[in-house]
Amino acid sequence: MMIGDALIVSAILFTIGVVGVLTRRNAIILFMCVELMLNAVNLSFVAFAKLHGVGGHVFVIIVMTIAAAEAAVGLAIVISVFRHFGAVDLQNLKLLRR
């Protein structure tokens, strides 16, 4: 089994997600980048489950549940930001900086 190769794919996907979070300004795409990072971590869990037993699969399922909760709350925040500013641009969220 190519556990090392799966870990490399996971590392690359995670880095793509991090760079996306740091460079994009659209809040919805930012949340999708976070989902991509969670998916990359899930791939590591499944790869390591080959070595350490089925607990990794359980953790993947729990991570998916938390991701669903995070997406629901995050998108509710995006909706309320859009109601307030009329855009999903993160540059608008500077009220606390003054």
Partner 1 sequence: MTPFYRFQFYLFALMAIGAALLFVTRKSPVSAALWLVNVMFALSGLYVMLDAPFVAAVQVLVYAGAIMVVFVFVVMLLNLGRPDQLPDLREAGARIGAGVIGVVLLANLLAVRRETFPVVELAPPIDNVVLPVAESLFTEYLLAFELTSIVLLVAIVGAVVLAKKRATV
Among 11, 85, 94, 98, binds partner 1 (CB under 8 A): 11
> What one-letter code names the amino acid at 43?
L
What phi-psi label fits residue 86: left (phi over 0), alpha (psi between -120 and 50 degrees) or beta?
left
- Asked whether position 85 contacts partner 1 by CB under 8 A, the answer is no
Please state the closest distance from residue 33 (CB atom) to partner 1, in A.
7
Based on CB atoms, which residue is closest to partner 1, 54 or 96? 54
Q: Can you tell me the distance from the alpha carbon of 58 to that of 55, in angstroms, rounded to the nearest whole number?
A: 5
Residues 12-51 that bind partner 1 (CB under 8 A): 12-20, 22-26, 28-29, 31-33, 35-36, 39, 42-43, 46-47, 49-51
Other CB atoms within a 10 A radius of the CB of residue 95 amount to 8
- Asked whether position 93 contacts partner 1 by CB under 8 A, the answer is no
Nearest to 33 by CA among 25, 8, 44: 25
